[in-house]
Homo-oligomer: A and B are copies of this chain.
Amino acid sequence: MPNLLFKLNERLYLRDPQHTLLGQNIIRVSIDMIDRLGFEQFTFKKLAEEIDSTEASIYRYFENKHRLLLYLIAWYWNWMDYRIDLVTIGLTNPQEKLRASLKVIAEEKKIDPNFEFVNEEALYRIVVAELDKTFLTKWVDNDNKEGLFGGFKSLCRKLAGWVTEVNPDYPYANSLMSTILLTAKQQVFFAQHLPSLTSITKKETSQVELEYFLETILFKSIL
């Protein structure tokens, strides 16, 4: 069981949480707590209690809880990028690459044993519920300047590149792929909480429905 690490933007943290036990605990338990409580109700104080540490110690790893969320979501997009590489590495046709990527994007996540101390199922739910909060803040422009959205942006760029390979005349490749990536999460959220806003059901078939919906948007737009 290989234990992989992602090299994330160093500005996301003050001290790298992957390298110490306390840091790993912060990641592991914060994923669990944000999933359970929601990001607003989650605090460093509560986290400190659950891992038998102190607020002050956590603040030595992350400047604030917003940075911690940025870290977790950056990790998620890195992981997505990595899995898209895995399923497209053997493919040469950009259209096939996109189709394979969509499968990964629409997938409900299963635990990935390659990564200890990251519960990918809980992290997936966090992304669904909290993703937009990473950029809908007064810090967007600064966070962006520091490169904290790099993971999402490079993934979007990669997919948009394939779109342009498929159809060099399609002028909205970036918009289309950011829309697809965000819509994949939003529709899952709607299925759970505002079902009249979606055609995706809560049943086991929802993954396939989402995939077809995204496929239609993507390929009808560019072909």
Interface residues of A (CB under 8 A from B): 38, 40-41, 129-130, 132-133, 135-138, 140-141, 144, 149, 152-153, 156-157, 171-176, 178-179, 182-183, 186-187, 189-190, 193-194, 196-200, 209, 212-213, 216-217, 220-221
Contact = CB atoms under 8 A, between A and B. Distances in A.
Nearest to A177: B197
B132 A196 contact: no
A141 to B, nearest CB: 6
Contacts of A157: 196
Contacts of A189: 135-136
B198 A138 contact: no
A46 B205 CA distance: 49
A136 B141 contact: no
Identical copies in the complex: 2
5 contacts: A144-B194, A174-B197, A176-B213, A178-B198, A182-B182
Q: Is the interface of A mostly helix, strand, loop or mixed?
A: helix
Given A194-B135, A221-B220, A200 B179 contact: no
B199 A173 contact: yes
A137 B185 CA distance: 15
A213 B175 contact: yes
Nearest to A144: B194
Contacts of A183: 179, 182-183
A216 B136 contact: no
A38 B14 CA distance: 27
Contact of A193 (B141, B190, B198, B217): B141
A137 B132 CA distance: 12
